[in-house]
């Protein structure tokens, strides 16, 4: 383990944004592609992510219809109308567009698996209260776009912080993804946990009854999978809103994540975590409220990230980070132990100026904000 050195203002961009005008706002908000897609899911060696384009479009209103519709790899556009409570996880095949109608569709109690698939779009859908697994797991899959979705779960004294797993986890050599305009959240503030001793996370006897999420988005799910993951896990995260979360916004191993124009509010413990030789390019993000660590490359996995492991946390190799356009880290810690060589994403994208970011993100993330 390399020693950790606090670098609070390392490699900040010297660019200065002029006072934004109405035209600046329009230009910054308008996506660079007609569909609204930008990032690795658009620009990659395999071609743009198009989902079920060219396939049959159907609307589903029951769980049985939904389960049948998402299966298989033929092109298909599936509109979800209403609320769905499946009895097992949904398995989505390749060449699929999974789209919530109108103000959005809700999937409750079970999550979504995108396994061994390619060319998948999920938009305008909420995934809530998934027990014993992730809200959405993308595994060994390429060209996936998750956009304008909402992820929510809860913690309580009875359930504990490991009752729910990740909200959106991307693992096992998955590649060329964009995660955009999503709302990751719980229902109330984590601040009551901040004063608890670490022993509280072992027994949970002092854990207050709260309704929030602990671990949000993990990229690469093991530090022993270098041979599987290295050279993959190119993920774009932009214009997402994380609110009342504990850790992983995102946490990455062995890959490359471009993280820009995201809004973080009350991300209590550790937001962006690059470890196990992972690389992140972090630019034009805003951190607000009660956030302890905005960005770290130190390999130590803090106990709050995995409360049921040892009290000292788990040690991995450090990761790497580069800072592009200026971020607003607020009062949060920035701990960059290694500067990497990931200085450019290699695709075109438009940054929303920091002065406008909070307004743009709050108004545009989540359900019912996009016509699908």
Active site residues: 248
Q: 197: exposed, middle or buried (C-beta count within 10 Å: 0-12, 13-18, 19+)?
A: exposed
**Measured between alpha carbons, how far is 12 from 328 in angstroms, rounded to an integer?**
10
- CB 234 within 8 Å of CB 44: yes
Tell me how many degrees the CA angle 362-8-299 measures, rounded to the nearest 5. 90
367 DSSP 8-state letter: T
Q: Which of 340, 246, 257, 344 is nearest to 301 (CA)?
A: 246
Residue 95: CA count within 13 A, CB half-sphere: 10
Rounded Cα gap, residues 304 and 76, in angstroms = 41
> Which residues on neighbouring strands pair with residue 180, listed in sequence order?
147, 238
C-alpha to C-alpha distance for 325 and 283, rounded to whole angstroms: 5
Give the list of residues 6+ apart from residue 350 with CB closer than 8 angstroms, or none.
27, 28, 30, 31, 32, 38
Residue 51 to residue 60: CA distance in whole angstroms: 17
Between the CA of residue 290 and those of 83, 188, 237, 333, what are the distances in Å?
33, 12, 22, 11
Query: How many other β-carbons are positioned within 10 Å of the β-carbon of residue 370?
Result: 17
Rg (CA), the chain: 19
């Amino acid at each position: 383990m390399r020693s950790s050195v606090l670098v609070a203002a390392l490699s900040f961009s010297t660019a200065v944004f002029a006072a934004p005008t109405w035209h600046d706002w329009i230009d910054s908000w308008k996506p660079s592609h007609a569909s609204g897609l930008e990032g690795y899911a658009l620009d990659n060696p395999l071609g743009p992510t198009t989902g079920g384009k060219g396939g049959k479009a159907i609307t589903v209103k029951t769980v049985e219809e939904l389960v049948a519709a998402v299966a298989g790899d033929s092109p298909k556009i599936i509109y979800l109308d209403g609320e769905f409570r499946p009895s097992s996880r949904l398995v989505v095949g390749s060449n699929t567009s999974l789209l919530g109608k109108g103000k959005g569709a809700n999937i409750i109690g079970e999550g979504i698996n995108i396994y061994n698939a390619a060319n998948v779009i999920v938009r305008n859908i909420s995934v809530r209260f998934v027990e014993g697994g992730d809200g959405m797991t993308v595994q060994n899959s390429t060209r996936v776009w998750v956009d304008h979705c909402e992820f929510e779960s809860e913690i309580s004294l009875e359930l504990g912080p490991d009752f729910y797993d990740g909200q959106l986890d991307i693992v096992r050599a998955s590649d060329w993804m964009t995660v955009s305009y999503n709302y990751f959240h719980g229902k109330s503030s984590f601040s009551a946990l901040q004063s608890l001793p670490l022993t509280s996370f072992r027994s949970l006897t002092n854990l207050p009854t709260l309704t929030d999420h602990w671990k949000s988005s993990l990229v690469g799910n093991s530090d022993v999978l270098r041979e599987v993951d290295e050279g993959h896990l190119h993920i774009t995260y932009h214009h997402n809103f994380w609110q009342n979360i504990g850790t992983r916004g995102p946490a990455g191993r062995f890959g490359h994540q471009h993280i820009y124009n995201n809004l973080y509010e009350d991300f209590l413990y550790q937001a962006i975590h690059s470890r196990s030789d992972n690389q992140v390019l972090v630019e034009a993000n805003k951190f607000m409220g009660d956030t302890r660590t905005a960005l770290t490359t130190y390999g130590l996995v803090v106990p709050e990230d995995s409360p049921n492991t040892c009290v000292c946390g788990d040690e991995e190799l450090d990761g790497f980070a580069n800072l592009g356009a200026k971020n607003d880290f607020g009062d949060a810690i920035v701990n960059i132990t290694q500067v990497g060589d990931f200085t450019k994403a290699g695709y075109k994208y438009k940054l929303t100026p920091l002065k406008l970011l909070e307004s743009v993100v709050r108004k545009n993330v989540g359900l019912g904000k996009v016509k699908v």
